[in-house]
Amino acid sequence: ASEPPTVFHWIPFFGSAASYGNDPLNFFFECQKKYGDVFTFILLGRRVTVALGPKGNNFILGGKSTVFNAEDAYTHLTTPIFGKDVVYDVPNEVFMEQKKFVKVGLSTDNLRAYAGMIEEEIEEFVRHDQNFKVYQANDINEWGTFDVVKVMQEITILTASRTLQGKEVRDALNKSFAELYNDLDNGFTPLNFMFPNLPLPSYRRRDKAHLKMSEFYVNIIKKRRAGHQDHEHDMIAALMQQKYRNGRLLNDKEIAHIMIALLMAGQHTGSATGSWALLHIAANPSVSEALYKEQVEHFVGPDGKMRPVTFEELRGLPLLDSVIRETLRMHPPIHSIMRYVRDDVPVPATLSAPSKDGIYIVPKGNYVLASPAISQADPTVWKNAETWDPYRWNDTQGVAAQAFAMYADENGEKIDYGFGAVSKGTDSPYQPFGAGKHRCIGEQFAYLQLGTLIATVIRMMEIRIDKVPEHNYHTMITMPKTPRTISYRRRNF
């Protein structure tokens, strides 16, 4: 057996770092044309084997953690930020227990309690933050502008802290917390992924910020343990009650570090998706008006007033749901999902083979990389793949609906087209939340946060932009390039 083809490159150690770093999707599409769905490229000395398409997704995301290992691929990036004894700093079995603990905090009961809080935060923000001066001037004919990414970053942290993170974090946001968060966040870059430890100020600030942040959460937990405060709906409260299989409760540091991990997991993914969604809505006035109509039809009561959103009702809005789903198809925040190869692994002949009878082997010591972003943009799978068209999801016979149906639930069952349905099918072309063992558990929370965001913004204002910006791939999470300025005008809300 031989190895998959290696992508041609001029400079030995550097390899394809520039092409991959500048535009990974274009790089993968080009390689796919030359080498097929499975190939290896050199990334600053690492050998990275990419497997594309639904079968490639299945090969990597459906693989065993003993051969395709996540902690070996990510720990050097994440442990300095999250801290010890959680996520990728512990063996996979332990992290899987921790994921179950987090799921308790993300129960439907909690999500129900969050809907109103999220709406309130966003309304408050638009009514008082300096980014929305024209709105506050109360003139419904004047247009103003806002930088969508800046606004979304603030809204995402405000809403996540008010709900999951809890009262103490929300209260600290205006103070030291924001700065600490920024220093930590500056440790979450492609540079940190490539070089875990450089003698740079940003690395030192990251390490300092981690210590302070960890202490901040530990203090909250200690105070809660000492008092009898009522925090029934937040994540800290849920985690304080969880026990490992051996009967041990989580200790303060473990809870603190899980909280940091959750903060980081939801922040960029949420703010990027919210930004892309608002950009597309702003560029498509007809969708924007249809969304507003959907709000009016569902939420205006007999008194003519718009009611607050609820978790249940949001789930029943087909256009809102399709807008989020379509945004995540074209702009999945995570373009590369990586694993470290712990043992030689044969590539199934149905996925890629050197000749009719042969098979390829991915050797131990390589990395493997899945990119659902590619199958989500594949023109052989999706009609008009490059067009943002939320209505493609309404055609229940269409390819989009079929792809979503393959996005099976936890028991491998096909799911209904429900709002933010939890699922982990590994062979679907549609996987913005990943698949398999490491699949996202924040999907329902993200749908609630994004659905409430869009509903609230659409109720409060009209938004416009001439053109949706291109992707910027120089950040860990795929963001829109500047300028990303949206024009808005107040509605009579």
Contact footprint for ligand HEM (CB under 6 A): 70, 99, 102, 262, 265-266, 269-270, 273, 332-334, 337, 432-434, 438, 440-442, 445-446
Q: What is residue 252's three-state secondary structure?
A: helix
Nearer to ligand HEM, 35 or 404 (CB): 404
Distance CA 448, CA 443 (A): 9
Of residues 334 and 353, the one with the C-beta less far from ligand HEM: 334
Residue 435 Cβ, how far from ligand HEM at the closest point, in Å? Answer: 8
Radius of gyration of the chain (CA): 23
Beta strand ranges found along 80-140 (DSSP E)? none
The closest of 205, 111, 24 to 442, measured between CA atoms, is: 111
CB nearer ligand HEM, residue 279 or residue 353: 279
Closer residue to ligand HEM (CB): 255 or 353: 255
Query: Which is closer to ligand HEM, CB of 70 or CB of 400?
Result: 70
Q: How far is the CB of 95 from ligand HEM (least distance, A)?
A: 7
Q: Are 43 and 18 in contact (CB under 8 A)?
A: no
- Between CA 413 and CA 423 the distance in angstroms is 9
Of the two residues 203 and 276, which places its CB atom closer to ligand HEM in the complex? 276
Please state the closest distance from residue 446 (CB atom) to ligand HEM, in A: 4
Q: Shortest Cβ distance from residue 264 to ligand HEM (Å)?
A: 9
The distance of closest approach from Cβ of residue 159 to ligand HEM in the complex, given in angstroms and rounded to an integer, is 10
3-class DSSP assignment, residue 369: strand
Q: How far is the CB of 434 from ligand HEM (least distance, A)?
A: 3
d(CA 231, CA 162): 12
Joined together, the tokens standing for residue 491 give 């509605």
Residue nearest to ligand HEM according to CB distances in the complex: 442
Torsional class of 166: left (φ above 0), alpha (ψ -120 to 50), beta (otherwise) = left
Q: Which two tokens stand for residue 477?
A: 């999470």
In the complex, what is the shortest distance from the CB of residue 227 to ligand HEM, in angstroms, rounded to a whole number? Answer: 26
Q: Which CB sits closer to ligand HEM, 278 or 353? A: 278
Distance CA 190, CA 170 (A): 29
Structure tokens at 419: 């709002």
What is each CA distance from 97 to 73, 86, 361, 456, in whole angstroms? 20, 10, 32, 36
Q: At its nearest, how many Å lie between ligand HEM and the CB of residue 297? A: 26
CA–CA separation, 173 and 177 (whole Å): 5
